[in-house]
Structure 1
Amino acid sequence: MSEVNEKDYELAFQIITYAGDAQSSAIEAIAACEKYDFDKAEELIDAANKSYIKCHEIQTSMFANEANGLKTDVNIILVHAQDHLTMANLRIGEAKNIMNLYKKIQQLENKEKDI
């Protein structure tokens, strides 16, 4: 049985933290869209992107280490971190799509008022 590499766990938990922040900001952005507060939604999507970039940078450094012969033990925490990273990416894309839809809804509502 291999020894636990504390650094690997630390990096995995950092990915989980940043990815969680990204998802939370994306969810808040969707809520802002529902109120047609697109400035707030864009700020939140920007914050989500910044958090996502941080966890992606950690993942990239892990890939670089692996390529340079510094093996990372795959454990359930790392797998969980990768799930969070993937979900953050999807949630940000979802928030962007929902914002575009709400903008179209608002445009249609405004046209309807003008009729």
Structure 2
Amino acid sequence: MGLIINGGNAKSDAMEAIHAAKKDDFELADQKLKDSDKALIEAHHSQTAMLTSEASGEKMDISLLLVHGQDHLMNAITFRDMAAEVVDVYKKMAGVTVG
């Protein structure tokens, strides 16, 4: 469940960053991107725990829930990366120095 919850939170935070940037609230946009990063770290901790268990010889059943969780994580990573680019575009349009 850690993959699903944290992956979903990461994607939501990234979307909120885009919405904030659209309103020229770049401080909130940057905070939401940081929040997204924190959620991704938590999701990675869940994923790493599962990988470590399997590498230690524990049998892991591949379930639809696990596949769904992994899908959430991968989509969240992609969306977060894209959100950062969109926020930068809004910043440039507003005359804010980027990078």
TM-score if structure 2 supplies the norm length? 0.92
CA shift, 1:18, in A, is 0.8
The aligned length equals 96
CA shift, 1:95, in A, is 1.0
Residue 85 of structure 1: aligned partner: 73
Gaps of 5+ in 2: none
Please tell me the root mean square deviation across aligned C-alpha atoms, in Å. Answer: 1.2
Gaps of 5+ in 1: 1-12, 109-115
Specify which of 13, 34, 41 is matched with residue 46 of structure 1.
34
Residue 30 of structure 1: aligned partner: 18
Paired with 1:72 and 1:59, the residues of 2 have a C-alpha distance of 12
CA shift, 1:46, in A, is 0.6
CA shift, 1:37, in A, is 0.8
Residue 72 of structure 1: aligned partner: 60
Query: Which contiguous aligned blocks of 4+ residues in structure 1 show a shift greater than 3 angstroms?
Result: none
Identity among equivalent positions (%) equals 38
